[in-house]
Amino acid sequence: MTLKIGNAQGFWGDDPDAPARLVSQQSDLDYVTMDYLAEVSLSIMAAQRERKPELGYPRDCVEAIRSLAPFWRTGRRIRVVTNGGGLNPRGCAEACAAALRKDGCKGLRIGIVSGDDILERMRRLIREGSSVDLMRNLETGEGIDRISERLVTANAYLGVDGIVRALESGADIVLTGRVTDSSLVCAPCVHHYGWKTTEYDKLAGGLVAAHVIECGIQVSGGISTDWLEVPSPADMGFPFVEVEQDGTFVVTKPDGTGGCVTEQTVKEQLLYEIGDPERYLTPEATVSFRDIEVRQEGTDRVRLWGFRGSAPPSTYKVSASYRDGFWAQGTLTIFGRDALEKAERCGRIVQERVRRAGYDLEGFEVESLGSGACAPGVLPATELLETVLRIAVRDSREEAVERFCRELTPLVTSGPQGLTGFSAGRPRPSPVFGYWPCLIPRDMVSVDVEILEV
Amino acid sequence: MRLGEIAYARSGDKGSAATLAIFARRPEDFGRLERVVTAERVQRFFEPMGCGPVRRFSLPKLQALNFILPEVLAGGGSRSLRVDAQGKAIGQVALEMEVGDL
């Protein structure tokens, strides 16, 4: 028997009905995983937690887990692994327990995995001046001292370890904070098959299986190049993997659902947001994609094999965020001859008026949507009869951004004839959270697991 | 000929860089893709967006080329002011590349 692990939530904001639907569509599914944490999601949760200390996790996660109560109540053995604990896995677990009790579920065990939140530890290390070289920005090489006063979150990407321990303790639901997306699927494999920490090729299979379904419906035809040919797109099935003891797997979706799982959709997702495919780094293994092969073996069934793993790095990757000023964006539609020239002129007016008010904005971007704004300068802009003027600004001073917000809407009466589409009203400033990827030695992070009985 | 006639693509973000994968639609076209869609060519194409030195990785078993395009997102996910801050459209842009008769 293979181990069947699905994904029913590819990001915070995904289809709220997907978990219960997937579990009912696929009656032999062993695990459901749900991914809520993109790179800067935790900084949004930090802002939430400032207003309400008992929060700091996506409420959606509690609702998703609650939606599975009818299955547990009727004796179905389905386990959940999710990073929906966010910044506060304990708080999320308590909310889930309360919701499940209310819905008549008893005897369930919730595993809580924490230890990823290293903000205080990092602050101390910075004060002491130790490991600061590892804390350089992985992308830009800048030193952390530049932003250390403005840090909002710092979380290590934990691996499978804590989740496996929670499953060994009989957890039906595992809630984590920041873990690698790949550990959500790999951990159940390690638990089920007993893979050793040095069985790198098998681990690589579990990690790649996770990567292929971590964005949910994207592997079922979502955002694929040939999207117009994807069948029944309003009813796309969330994916699951059937993982074998040796780490090879099939990716598929429930029968009768829309979308499609083909060599093409799987290959697109396999390389999605992968940097160096020879060195996909996780706490379990360094994975090479070089020998991976992909073959369609049935309708909506694609088999993958050829995973190569080697020893993992001695560090954890850290995702930190810091306050980086404010931003706002607004759009207006312009219809008529010379629409592009009119849009540019509107942009200059707004910039000039904000400047006269005393603010030289640090970031000011004017785009004419419809003219190739997704690739400025790459393709020749053609004259348009209609465009959407989009202006986005950023500044360290909130009042400067606020001023821009006030200067955009007056174009409704001062701008060109044919300017319309202002129903969204005046834009509002939002905080910007900068992303700071860096490293920390593994021995500075300790993973904690506790069990909460429902 | 535009690249999209013989290839499909997928893109995304890694901070201020975009990742871009280009796949041959037919296995027999992979060799031609590998010859024509070089790192230098991709960099030149995306240069107006501020693209830095491109790295290319070849994956013959997947008939795929994977690229990293540094700085092409002008700050990336949380900092970029561009409408496509996360590089979602980069794949579609790349498929518009004119590649001659091959």
Half-sphere exposure of A394 (CA within 13 A, CB side): 16
Confidence at B102, pLDDT banded by 50, 70, 90: low
Of A275, A324, A376, the CB nearest to B14: A275
| pLDDT per residue as tens digits for the range B38-70 | 999 999 999 999 999 999 999 999 999 999 999
State the DSSP code for A53. T
Dihedrals phi, psi of A184, to nearest 5 degrees: -60, -35
> Counting Cβ atoms within 10 Å, is residue A380 exposed (0-12), middle (13-18) or buried (19+)?
exposed
Of A271, A374, A390, the CB nearest to B66: A271
Which distant-in-sequence residues (6+ apart) come within 8 Å of A20 by Cβ? A67, A68, A70, A71
Amino acid in position A54: E
Encoded tokens for A426: 């005046």
Residue from A219, A226, A271 to probe the interface with B (highest B Cβ count within 10 Å): A271
Contacts of B26 in chain A (CB under 8 A): none
Question: Percent of chain B beyond pLDDT 70?
Answer: 98
**Structure-token pair, residue A392:** 């986005």
H-type alpha helices, A271-312: none
* Residue in B30, B55, B59 to test binding to A, most A beta-carbons within 10 Å: B59
Written as one letter, the residue type at A160 is V
Contact: B84, A374; criterion CB under 8 Å: yes
Which of B79, B86, B96 is the best substitution to test chain A (most A C-beta atoms within 10 A)?
B79
Helix ranges, A178-309 (H): 183-193, 200-213, 263-270
The distance of B10 to chain A (nearest Cα, Å) reads: 6
> A317: closest CA among A137, A58, A151?
A137
Q: Can you give the pLDDT at residue A267?
A: 98
Q: Which residues of B touch A (CB under 8 A)?
A: 4, 8-10, 12-17, 19, 21, 23, 45-46, 48-49, 55, 57, 59, 61-62, 64, 66, 68, 76-79, 81-84, 88-93, 95-96
Residue A158 β-bridge partners: A179
Tell me the CA distances in angstroms from B49 to A35, B18, B93, one per residue in order.
Answer: 31, 11, 12
- Calpha distance A144→A140 (Å, rounded): 11
**3-state SS track over A127-189:** HHCCCCCCCCCCCCCCCHHHCHHHEEEEEECECCHHHHHHHHCCCCEEEECCECCCHHHHHHH
Nearest CA in chain B to A293: B61
Q: Which of B13, B57, B84 sits opposite A273 (nearest CB)?
A: B13
Q: Model confidence over A97-115: pLDDT tens digits? A: 999 999 999 999 999 999 9
Chain A with chain B: Cβ pairs closer than 8 A = 134
∠ at Cα A92 (A86, A97), nearest 5°?
Answer: 155
Strands A448-453 and A419-420: unpaired
Q: Using CB atoms, which residue from B14, B21, B84 is nearest to A271? A: B21
Q: Tell me which chain A residues have a C-beta less than 8 angstroms from the C-beta of B57.
A: 276-278
Rounded Cα distance between B19 and B13, Å, is: 6
Chain-chain contact of A223 with B10 (C-beta, under 8 angstroms): yes
The H or E element containing residue A20 is: helix A18-25
Give the contacts of A215 (CB within 8 A, at least 6 positions apart). A7, A10, A11, A35, A222, A269, A272
> Residue A46 is encoded by which pair of tokens?
């930090």
Q: Do B65 and B74 form a contact (C-beta atoms < 8 A)?
A: no
> What local confidence, expressed as pLDDT, does residue A381 receive?
77
Which residues in chain B have Cβ-Cβ distances shorter than 8 Å to A291? Answer: 61
pLDDT for B100: 86
User: What tokens does A259 get?
Assistant: 């979308």
Q: Residue A271 and residue B64: Cβ atoms within 8 Å?
A: yes
Which pTM value belongs to this model? 0.96
Cα distance between residue A169 and residue A166, in whole Å: 5
DSSP alpha helix (H) spans, A254-324: 263-270
Residues of chain A falling short of pLDDT 70:
none
Q: CB B83 to CB A276 under 8 A?
A: no
**A289-316 burial, b if ≥16 CB within 10 A, otherwise e?**
beebebeeeeebebbbbbbbbeebeebb
Q: Which of B49, B64, B66 sits opposite A375 (nearest CB)?
A: B49
| Gap between the Cα atoms of A208 and A307, Å rounded | 8
User: CA A47 to CA A426: how far, in whole Å?
Assistant: 23
Cα(A369)–Cα(A364) distance, rounded to whole angstroms? Answer: 16
Question: Who's near A289: CB < 8 A, 6+ residues apart?
Answer: A208, A270, A271, A274, A277, A278, A280, B59, B62
**Cβ separation B13–A306 shorter than 8 A:** no
Interface residue of B3, B6, B8, B10 to substitute, partner A, most A CBs within 10 Å:
B10
Q: Which long-range contacts (CB under 8 A, 24 or more apart) does A72-78 make?
A: A72/A100, A72/A105, A72/A108, A72/A172, A73/A103, A73/A104, A73/A105, A76/A23, A77/A30, A78/A23, A78/A29, A78/A30, A78/A31, A78/A32
